[in-house]
Amino acid sequence: MRLAGGIQWFSAYEVIETGSRRTLPVADVATLGERGAALHAMIVGRRAPLRLGEQASLFDEPLIAGILNVTPDSFSDGGACGDDPAGAAKVGVAMVAAGAAIIDVGGESTRPGAPVVSEREELKRVVPVIERLVVVGAIVSIDTRKAAVMAAALAAGAHIVNDVSALLWDDRALEVVAKAGCPVVLMHSPDPKAGPHGGGGYRDVLVEVLDWLEARIDAVVAGGVDRARIIVDPGIGFGKSLADNLALMNGLAAFHGLGCPIMLGASRKRMIGALSNDAPVGERLAGSIALALKGAEAGVQLLRVHDVAETVQALRVWRALRDRAMVGADGFEPPTYSV
């Protein structure tokens, strides 16, 4: 079967129930009952194209969202684009030229211990950059928790809201997104009201994050957002230990059971440093590429990355190897898609 209607195929499930795990061939999925049938339909169902104005992006293979921080204190590139909207926009345009489908603009750092930025300051940072990017035809997402920033960014031409609090930090956020009818990224964190790094431990991180996102999707749909416009993010690095992050990376395919496109944001994260002798942020490219390819193999539809050109190159090689491996002795050629 195709995974989420994309280019990845699978032939069996790992079934997790009451603490046990077993492997089940796809042909036997009917034995799982109503719940299993519903999950199966979500997992194999083709994702609706991401329609942004006159443009439509398919989810047949991973799309790249380039990270553009316009903050003085981001964990990875703080200050690089601060106080220079024209320079920041130039960086974003270069990302598009390198293969980014989306530019994710953020004006508030979400690193551990980062102070909350006022709405006025955040707007001052992001709106001029968004306006410049939209003029040249870039697809822009606004990375913010604040309803006022969401509304102003959308008015300036942004197309997507990317909220690390899954529309829970600001009580007005859900209304803004529902009224705009725009796509929204709902990211998991243990306690969004306390900040993206709050919360405690987990008994089974994969199951708990899945259940949390499922409940959040239902609440956001009830609030007026079209389910076809919801994207989910497991929140790698947000309120999670190294073991938690590794478990989520290994279980990424399970998130297709939510029926929504998946965004993976693991680029330059602390887990890479923890696995490589505390390598500083600037020396985590190889680890970031490894995690991006892991996401691609799991059928993730969106990869949020700092290093666009390098990730695009790695994905092109991965795609070529994958397609060639599927050409069998019977001459079968896998279908190709242009995005």
Residue 271 lies in a domain: yes
For residues 222 and 279, membership in a common domain is answered with yes
Asked if the structure places residue 339 within a domain, the reply is: no
**Domain range for 14:** 1-46
For the stretch 31-41, pLDDT in tens is 999 999 999 99
Predicted confidence (pLDDT) at residue 328 exceeds the cutoff of 90: no
Pairwise CA distance, residues 305 & 303, whole Å: 6
97 and 132 part of one domain = yes
Considering the domain architecture, whether residues 138 and 273 belong to the same structural domain is answered as yes
Active-site residue, selected from the candidate residues 304, 316, 322, 324: 304
Do both 70 and 32 map to the same domain? no
Domain co-membership, 29 together with 99: no
170 in the same domain as 129? yes
Residues 102 and 168 in one domain: yes
269 is catalytic: yes
Judge whether 76 lies within some domain.
Answer: yes
Average pLDDT, the chain: 91
Q: Establish if 337 belongs to a structural domain.
A: no
pLDDT tens profile 215-247: 999 999 999 999 999 999 999 999 999 999 999
Q: Exactly one of 47, 240, 269, 284 is catalytic; which is it? A: 269
pLDDT value at residue 267: 97
- Overall domain count for the chain: 2
- Pair (18, 130) in one structural domain: no
Residue 185 resides in a domain: yes
Decide if 304 is catalytic.
yes
Mean predicted confidence (pLDDT) in 70-97: 80
CA distance 312 to 100: 8
Q: Which residues contact 156 (CB under 8 A, 6 or more apart)?
A: 127, 130, 131, 134
Lowest-pLDDT range of 169-178, 192-201, 325-334: 325-334
Q: Is the pLDDT of residue 159 over 60?
A: yes
Nearest to 96 by CA among 135, 47, 145: 135
Same domain membership, residue 242 and residue 191 = yes
Q: Do 146 and 209 have their domain in common?
A: yes
Beta strands in the chain (DSSP E): 12-17, 20-25, 50-52, 55-57, 63-69, 102-106, 140-143, 160-163, 184-187, 230-233, 263-264, 302-305
- The residue-averaged pLDDT of 302-331 equals 86
Q: Is the pLDDT of residue 188 over 80?
A: yes
User: Which residue type sits at 249?
Assistant: M
148/25 same-domain check: no
Residue 28 resides in a domain = yes
The CATH number given to whatever domain includes residue 121 is 3.20.20.20
pLDDT in tens, 164-180: 999 999 999 999 999 99
Distance between CA atoms of 281 and 117, rounded to whole angstroms?
Answer: 23
Decide: pTM greater than 0.75.
yes
Classify residue 84: in a domain, yes or no: yes
